[in-house]
């Protein structure tokens, strides 16, 4: 499949800080791709490099094979949906959505028809005459999405667009964004610090930390087979067992990832002491300490929860323990 976006040895430096450090990455045409990582990890800077709001200090960004270095933002086949939506408060919804077409010199009837079609696409028919102040957060997000799509970009860049929404609305919009991307067939590049968003929506995920990519893969690959202790801990809060325990259990002298939901309490297995528990509604998270390592176990609803201070044994299937052979203890 052809590449929509290519980073070739891209570095972006601000003074002595390398926000993006020697980035190599290919994003396929028609892919829903997530840039995932904590604040300051380089994911938003990478998005801004594609949009043209930042220029590489070294390396190059290609968009559909063309070096974008000399191309200004308004000439790139991309559009951006920002976290704060950046709607014009004095314009109604129709004129907000049509603004890019107005700048492009399109006649009013044409741009208004396109705006109405875009509002239909994001399920906001009948809202064209309202002002942004009359809309809910979710509706403003849809208007921002319609404004970005009305110009028919080849790539849509989304910079944490769901961050201001409450949980239920955020989950609803995740499904709608995923459905919209599939129907349009264009490339979506989605920046988020929320691993749940990335895993639920993306075809592939790049996990960032300190300006570098730690791992690129499908959500299943990143979750089940993390490449580094950072990925294991950031994506799903895995137990990262030190090499000392792993060597005794498997013979491998590398740290390993063990997801809490894969562990069960048993008659035999790794000895541990219960240090606490947290009720999560559908499950209970049990905190234990085993051979100096702090771990958590996810117990299903209705399971007996051992008392703090009691001794338990931990067991799991052999394929649950993922040894990170390319990593060392942090």
Give the whole-angstrom CA distance, residue 44 versus residue 105. Answer: 30
Which pLDDT score is estimated for 24?
Answer: 97
Instruction: Write down the pLDDT at residue 1.
Output: 66
In order of 50, 183, 185, the CA distances from 22 in angstroms are 15, 34, 30
Highest mean pLDDT among 53-62, 142-151, 165-174: 53-62
Contact 267, 258 (CB under 8 A): no
Which residue would you say has higher pLDDT here, 100 or 309? Answer: 309
Q: What is the pLDDT of residues 267-318, one digit of tens each?
A: 999 999 999 999 999 999 999 999 989 999 999 998 999 999 999 999 999 9
What is the full DSSP assignment across 97-153? HTHHHHHTT--HHHHHHHHHHHHHHTT-TT-TT--GGGS-HHHHHHHHHHHHHTT--
Q: Which tokens hold the place of 215?
A: 């791992």
pLDDT for the residue 136? 86
The pLDDT, as a whole number, for residue 330 is 59
Q: What is the pLDDT of residues 234-270, one digit of tens each?
A: 998 889 999 999 998 888 899 999 999 999 999 999 9
Residue 328 has pLDDT above 80, yes or no: no
Distance CA 232, CA 329 (A): 12
pLDDT at 113 exceeding the cut of 90: yes
Predicted pLDDT at 169: 78
Q: What is the mean pLDDT of the chain?
A: 92
pLDDT in tens, 178-195: 988 998 899 999 999 999
Cβ contacts of 22 within 8 Å, gap of 6 or more: 9, 10, 11, 58, 59, 212
Sorted by sequence, the CB contacts under 8 Å of residue 189 that are 6+ apart come out as: 5, 27, 33, 35, 47, 50, 155, 156, 157, 158
Is the pLDDT at 35 greater than 90, yes or no? Answer: yes
Phi-psi region of 302 (alpha: psi -120 to 50; beta: other; left: phi over 0): left
Residue 33: exposed, middle, or buried by beta-carbon count in 10 A (0-12, 13-18, 19+)? buried
Which residue segments constitute the domains of the chain, with CATH numbers given? 3-231 (3.40.50.300), 258-323 (2.40.50.140)
Residues of the chain with pLDDT > 70, as a percent, come to 99
Q: How far apart are CA 287 and CA 295, in angstroms?
A: 6
pLDDT of residue 10: 97
Token pair belonging to 269: 């297995």
Backbone angles phi, psi at 152, to 5 degrees: 55, 55
How many Å apart are CA 296 and CA 276, to the nearest integer? Answer: 9
Half-sphere exposure of 113 (CA within 13 A, CB side): 5
Q: Considering the chain, what percentage of its residues have pLDDT values greater than 90?
A: 75
């Amino acid at each position: 499949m052809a590449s929509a976006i290519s980073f070739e040895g891209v570095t972006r430096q601000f003074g002595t800080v390398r926000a993006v450090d020697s980035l190599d990455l290919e994003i396929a045409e028609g892919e829903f791709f997530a840039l995932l990582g904590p604040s300051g990890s380089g994911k938003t800077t990478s998005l801004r490099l594609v949009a043209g709001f930042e220029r590489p200090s070294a390396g190059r960004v290609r968009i559909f094979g063309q070096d974008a270095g000399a191309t200004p933002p308004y000439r790139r086949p991309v559009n951006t949906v920002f976290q704060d939506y950046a709607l014009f408060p004095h314009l109604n919804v129709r004129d907000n959505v049509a603004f890019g077409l107005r700048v492009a010199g399109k006649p009013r009837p044409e741009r208004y028809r396109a705006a109405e079609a875009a509002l239909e696409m994001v399920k906001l028919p009948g809202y064209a005459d309202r002002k942004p102040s009359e809309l809910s957060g979710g509706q403003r997000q849809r208007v921002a999405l319609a404004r970005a799509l009305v110009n028919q970009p080849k790539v849509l860049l989304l910079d944490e667009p769901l961050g201001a929404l409450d949980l239920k609305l955020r989950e609803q919009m995740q499904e709608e964004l995923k459905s919209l991307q599939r129907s349009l067939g264009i490339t979506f590049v989605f920046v988020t610090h929320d691993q749940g968003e990335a895993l639920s929506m993306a075809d592939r995920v790049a996990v960032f930390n300190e300006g570098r990519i730690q791992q690129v893969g499908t959500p299943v690959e990143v979750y089940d087979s993390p490449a580094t202790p950072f990925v294991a801990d950031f994506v799903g809060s895995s137990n990262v067992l030190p090499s000392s325990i792993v060597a005794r259990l498997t013979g491998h002298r590398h740290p390993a990832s063990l997801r809490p939901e894969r562990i069960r309490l048993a008659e035999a297995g790794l000895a541990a002491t219960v240090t606490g528990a947290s009720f999560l509604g559908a499950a209970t998270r049990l905190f234990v300490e085993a051979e100096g390592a702090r771990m958590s176990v996810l117990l299903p609803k209705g399971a007996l929860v051992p008392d703090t201070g009691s001794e338990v044994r931990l067991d799991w299937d052999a394929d649950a323990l993922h040894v990170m052979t390319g990593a060392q203890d942090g």
